[in-house]
Structure 1
Amino acid sequence: MLVMSDIIRGYTDTFILAQLLHHDSYGYEINKAINDMTNARFELKEATLYTTFRRLEHGGYIISYWGDENTGARRRYYAITELGKQLYYENLNDWKDAKSMIDKILEDRQ
């Protein structure tokens, strides 16, 4: 039996970049959005999320900065760079190609 998280694990970077295309955000908000969009079927572990942030920032795909919260804890926000947008669209096209091939293989057998 296929495990959904195994199938989509390689797209963690792309999921985060997709969220940052809309607006700057912080870890909890990004994870909650992904969780909400998938009806709680996919949630990033905190260690995975922050490891991915570090990798993306080190690669120049995102930048981080501290927010100006007047109440509560100070948050580290992330913003996508032009290089990050380019990577997102490349990954999106790769996903579409892979999905098309998989659909063809599986649907032609039914």
Structure 2
Amino acid sequence: MISSDVLRGYNDTMILYLLLKEPSYGYELAKKIKENSDGQYIMKETTLYSIFTRLEKNGYVTSFFGSETSGKRRTYYEITPLGKEYYHEKCEEWDLTKEVIEKFIERGQ
């Protein structure tokens, strides 16, 4: 498993990436993150919902209630144009981060 400390700065990126494809809700996104990471990263619900709050406050996502007819209504999240810009900025930042860190990684030592 990957330490949450390692990925903390990129949680937003992972969520926004998944929202590029379609609007979704918390449980479904957490499940997709676990699946896409082959079970190596599990995002806690408390982390997920604090990220949603921050992303919405910054204008990167909007939320709306789903149209479920049974049980509790789900809150769905959708990426905004500003969120897409932020996502692309974070991707560029990741490329630079990898480049810098690779200078300090020596395999086979």
* Structure 1 residue ranges (4+ consecutive) displaced by more than 6 angstroms after TM superposition: none
- Which residue in the other structure is 2:10 paired with? 11
Q: Number of residues paired by the alignment?
A: 108
Give the 5 Å matches for 1:77-96.
77-96=76-95
Q: Flag the structure with higher helix content.
A: 1
- Identical-pair percentage: 46
Rounded to whole Å, the distance in 1 between the matches of 2:22 and 2:106 is 37
SS of 2:72's partner is: coil
Structure 1 regions of 5+ residues with no counterpart?
A: none
Is 1:101 paired with 2:104? no
State the AA in 1 paired with 2:11. Answer: T
- When normalised by structure 2's length, the TM-score is 0.91
Rounded to whole Å, the distance in 1 between the matches of 2:14 and 2:107 is 29
Rounded to whole Å, the distance in 2 between the matches of 1:8 and 1:78 is 21
- Give the superposition deviation at 1:104: 2.6
Rounded to whole Å, the distance in 2 between the matches of 1:4 and 1:95 is 17
- Which residue in the other structure is 2:46 paired with? 47
- Give the superposition deviation at 1:80: 0.2
Rounded to whole Å, the distance in 1 between the matches of 2:54 and 2:71 is 27
State the AA in 2 paired with 1:61. Answer: Y
- Give the superposition deviation at 1:4: 2.9
SS of 2:103's partner is: helix
